[in-house]
Chain A
Amino acid sequence: MANDGIVLKTEGLTKYYGGVHALEDADFTLHEGEHVAIVGDNGAGKSTFVRQITGVEQPTAGKIFFGGKEVAFNSPIDARDFGIEAVFQNLALADDLDVPSNIFLGREETYFNLGPFSFLNEKKMYKNSMEALERTGVKIPNLRNSIANMSGGQRQCVAISRAASFASKLIIMDEPTAALGVQETTQVENIIRGLKKQGIPLILVSHNLRQVFNLVDKIWVFRRGRIAGMLEADKTDGNEVVSLITGVKTGVHENASYI
């Protein structure tokens, strides 16, 4: 398969949890530089889909192609090695650690390699964290404070900066603004716009249709564990999206240009 400008492609991606069919037969495509949204009701399979393509879980069936090659992510580290970073719904931060420790969690900078007993290069992590936060336009007064002492918005910004500073190929955000206030949401949205300018592809899982229409090129609608359809943001409206989410309307698949 040639690359065709396709970053990520799934074929028949399926995930069962015991008898629960959380995701069935998902065919999904993401092109270079593209920002897309995944929308759907609760239990539609959005987060399940994200967990499969980030290596947090392994699919029951189906194929994942990344950069034109078939891949099998056995863990989030595998996905990371391909340049995929994710911001998870439940704020994957360690509360008792400070900002640099969180940004570099699981890939700490060390002076020399002694396995788990390698000495941490705190200075370098601090400096790189400052740069990462600056790049994403995040202002955090004291990086040495533990995350527990920060507001929800600051915490989310740290999580996003972490993903943004390491993602070279793809960034995935699962409900990044769900728990945030208006001002903080705006800040996160600005970070996303910045990523668009840098040309880093993004998959945004969101319930907020206004946000989706403001930020993305395409909208993928999930319903009851299946992909109900794909809509281009500038050729559709909220009504059509909602009718796909609720199942009033089906079968937009055929009209979409890529499928």
Chain B
Amino acid sequence: MTEGTVTNQAEPVAAPATVEGGKRQRSHELNALMGLVGIALIFEILGWVFQGQSFLFNAQRLSIIILQVAVVGIIAIGVTQVIITGGIDLSSGSIVGLTAMVAMSFAQVSTYPRAVYPNLTDLPVIIPVLIGLGVGLGAGLINGALIAYTRIPPFIATLGMMVTARGAAKWYTRGQPVSFPTDSFAAIGQGMTPVFIFLAIALLFHVALKYTVYGKHTYAIGSNESAARVSGISVERHLIMVYAIAGMLASLAGIVIAARGLTAQAGMGTMYELQAIAMAVIGGVSLSGGRGSIVGTVIGAAIFGVIISGFTFLRLSAYYQEMIMGAIIVAAVVADVYRQRYRTSAR
């Protein structure tokens, strides 16, 4: 990293500034990319040593990695924006579960005798999708309004939503799973569709964060909320919008995962919030706000996917995998803290 070189004041005003400015930001993402390559190579070597086969050059495995990453990655895109404002969203995993249940209940086929709403079967796919997104929108609006107007910490507000939404998911069918969706609903989750959805969402919010007023204000609020306020940014409105977007993206993930599994269960999406946060932080999004990018999060998601499937590939027990996942999250945050310290001392 080559940052923090404050040049002499007496120097003439530099003209081709865009080059250096871009480089500084890119370096975080470049680091993450190199990390991704490094980790993949380690698993490749371990694969040949312990399993006698290649880790990377296996089309089936790669597509599984990509698919795994895609669903949580959709959530991570929303979480990234929340973290850039200096907040956190712990409710996304529960919103996935609740959305899966609700959306699926409006997507059931008429031939299934025990549908949740026997009179509302065989509906066009747009209806369960819109209702599902509405669930996330509603939850996100509540998160955002609580944080913006009551000024309770985002951690607490979204923790409350995490528990409440999970409870609502269980209450919705008294714990019964919901199954048998229409073909058109199921199609949302089949094949590589989730990956395309993830990439489209990533591209959309990459553009929004980098090239629009929305993005500028998102970074400004995370960077210095009071500065944003006195500069005339409507901080409350913006925070509500960011949390609403994050909620809707969690819902989208819930729709995708229900469509993919052809069934919805109240426990779906458990721990996804932490995986999404981990993807963002691994990708260089700073938990103290103001810094990070969608490109970084996408790379972070890839790193996360490679590590998880790498351990599966090495036949590591699922218990170890969870423990290691926890360690990765902590390690990513520690790395973030060190980056901060470097910045502060470089000033």
Chain A interfacial positions (CB closer than 8 Å to B): 54, 56, 75-77, 80, 86, 88, 90-98, 101, 105-108, 110, 114, 116-120, 126, 130, 133-134, 139-146, 148-151, 153-154
The 8 Å CB contact of A116, one of B22, B214, B222, B223, is B214
Chain B residues lying within 8 Å of A119, measured Cβ to Cβ, are 211-212
Known contacts A56-B230, A75-B232, A76-B230, A108 near B216 by CB under 8 Å: yes
Of the listed residues B18, B226, B230, B291, the one surrounded by the most CB atoms of chain A closer than 10 A to its CB is B230
Known: A116-B217, A120-B212, A145-B17. 20 other contacts (CB 8 A): A88-B230, A90-B226, A92-B224, A94-B219, A94-B224, A94-B228, A95-B223, A101-B216, A105-B227, A106-B232, A107-B231, A117-B208, A120-B211, A139-B11, A141-B12, A142-B17, A143-B14, A145-B24, A149-B346, A151-B6
B residues apposed to A, CB below 8 Å: 3-14, 17-18, 20-22, 24, 208, 211-214, 216-217, 219-220, 222-224, 226-233, 238, 241, 290-291, 343, 346-347
Contacts across chains A and B counted by CB atoms under 8 Å:
127
Contact A97 B8 (CB under 8 A): no
Chain A residues contacting B17 (CB-CB under 8 Å) are: 126, 142-145
Q: What chain B residues lie within 8 Å of A151 (beta carbons)?
A: 6, 9
Closest residue of chain B to A134 (Cβ to Cβ) is B13
Candidates A75, A76, A77, A118; contact of B213 at CB < 8 Å: A118
Residue numbers in A under 8 Å from B343 (CB-CB):
148
Identify 9 residue pairs between A and B in the complex whose beta-carbon atoms are under 8 Å apart, listed by A's number: A97-B219, A116-B238, A116-B241, A117-B213, A118-B212, A130-B13, A141-B9, A142-B20, A148-B347
Contact A120/B216 with A80-B232, A154-B9 known, Cβ cut-off 8 Å: yes
Q: Secondary structure at chain B's binding surface: helix, strand, loop or mixed?
A: helix
Docked complex Cα distance between A80 and B343 (Å): 33
B216 touches A142 (CB 8 A): no
A16 to B14, CA, bound (A): 48
Q: What separation, in Å, do the CA atoms of A144 and B241 have in the docked complex?
A: 28
Contact partners of B13 in chain A: CB under 8 A: 130, 133-134, 139-141, 143
B223 touches A94 (CB 8 A): yes
* Complex CA–CA separation, A64 to B300 (angstroms): 53
Nearest A residue to B218, CB-CB: A116
- Closest B residue, CB atoms, query A100: B17
What separation, in Å, do the CA atoms of A234 and B195 have in the docked complex?
73
Complex Cα gap A58–B194 (Å): 50
Chain B contacts for A92, CB-based, 8 A: 224, 226-227, 230-231
Q: How far is the CB of A136 from the nearest CB of chain B, in Å? A: 13
Contacts of B208 in A (CB 8 A): 117
B211 to chain A, nearest CB (A): 5
Least distance between B338 CB and chain A CB atoms (Å): 16
* Contact A141 B213, beta carbon cutoff 8 Å: no
